[in-house]
């Protein structure tokens, strides 16, 4: 690397920092410019003199790469790196790095936060008690909803990467029977899980949790046909990618009691359009893409992103996906 200080631009720093994490350690590596957010039309003007660009969800397209002649390095503040045109970056000799496996336990934790909320109605009862419902109860407790025990229930997991495996381990600790759809041989899976074909997962399991990447093969894998296979009391959980679900089909299934509930942390378009059918669907519990965002996971993410950049500066790129 040249002795000239690097010009480093962070295009969308707020989602990671949230004003409770500092970028000071990046300042030690060069001239640092931080933008909380960047609109598409502002990307080229903002990075035209940058050797290093850090992005989370801001797209770095072929056009942007071709109009950024000084660009040498793109650091993606996420595990997924589809926001970068990898082929174009590679052809221009640009290193692209990602941050794998930083949020494994945070994502698995949200799966069960959603699941326990659905089966135990925690938020519902807490709100009722703020309104005085318990104070007027004739008995020491009251049951306005059915409560469900998870032990013995069948959990189906689609995709057995880091988060899928962590989810399986937690499910087993709760006494659940775990079934998985995965190309991995049994020796690479948690002990005690059973492999099934994907349609059998939907047909046999009480809960189906998605943990696979979004590809041409997995797009809309949750659709009307598979939802019709499910038990009426079944629950769908998606903390992976919004495009895995046909949202219109899922909304129809919920509103017509084909399945009992859904919990989603991701949608096909984020932020969602106001007319997204899941926003008004019955028994659909939606969180705003927060599974990754615990303070602990964000600290890990920033630390690895920093190490990736240091490794690049040292001439030994780490987590390089443009190879």
Active centre residues (catalytic): 241, 270, 289
Place of tokens 């970056």: 89
Helices (H), 57-121: 62-66, 86-91, 104-120
Burial class (CB in 10 A: 0-12, 13-18, 19+), 136: exposed
Residue 299 to residue 131: CA distance in whole angstroms: 38
What is the chain's length? 323
Residue 168 to residue 158: CA distance in whole angstroms: 11
Contact 75, 60 (CB under 8 A): no
Nearest to 114 by CA among 322, 288, 312, 264: 264
Tokens representing 80 are 């997924």
First to last CA, the chain: 19
Residue 11 to residue 29: CA distance in whole angstroms: 17
> Greatest CA span in the chain, whole angstroms?
77
State the DSSP string of 22-38.
--HHHHTTEEEEE-S--
């Amino acid at each position: 690397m040249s002795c000239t200080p690097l010009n480093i631009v962070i295009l969308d720093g707020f989602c990671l920092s949230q004003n409770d994490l500092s970028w000071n350690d990046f300042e030690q590596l060069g001239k640092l410019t931080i933008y909380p957010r960047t609109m598409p039309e502002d990307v080229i003007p903002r990075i035209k003199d940058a050797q290093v660009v850090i992005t989370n969800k801001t797209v770095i397209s072929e056009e942007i790469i071709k109009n950024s002649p000084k660009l040498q390095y793109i650091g993606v503040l996420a595990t997924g790196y589809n926001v970068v045109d990898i082929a174009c970056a590679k052809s221009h000799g640009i290193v692209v790095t990602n941050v794998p496996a930083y949020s494994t336990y945070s994502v698995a934790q949200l799966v069960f936060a959603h699941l326990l909320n659905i089966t135990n109605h925690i938020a519902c009862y807490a709100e009722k008690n703020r309104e005085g419902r318990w104070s007027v109860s004739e008995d020491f407790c009251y049951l306005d909803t059915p409560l469900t025990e998870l032990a013995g229930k069948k959990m189906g997991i689609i995709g057995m990467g880091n988060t899928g495996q962590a989810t399986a381990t937690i499910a087993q600790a709760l006494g659940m029977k775990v079934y998985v759809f995965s190309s991995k041989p049994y020796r690479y899976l948690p002990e005690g899980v059973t492999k099934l074909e994907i349609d059998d997962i939907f047909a046999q399991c009480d809960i189906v949790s998605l943990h696979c990447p979004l590809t041409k093969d997995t797009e809309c894998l949750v659709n009307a046909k598979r939802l019709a296979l499910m038990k009426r009391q079944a629950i769908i959980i998606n903390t992976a990618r919004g495009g895995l679900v046909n949202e219109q089909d899922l909304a129809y299934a919920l509103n017509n009691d084909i399945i009992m509930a859904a919990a989603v942390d991701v949608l096909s378009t984020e932020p969602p359009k106001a007319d997204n059918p899941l926003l008004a669907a019955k028994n659909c519990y939606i969180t705003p893409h927060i599974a990754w965002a615990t303070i602990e996971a964000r600290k890990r993410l920033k630390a690895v992103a920093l190490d990736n950049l240091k490794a690049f500066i040292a001439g030994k790129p780490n987590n390089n996906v443009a190879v």
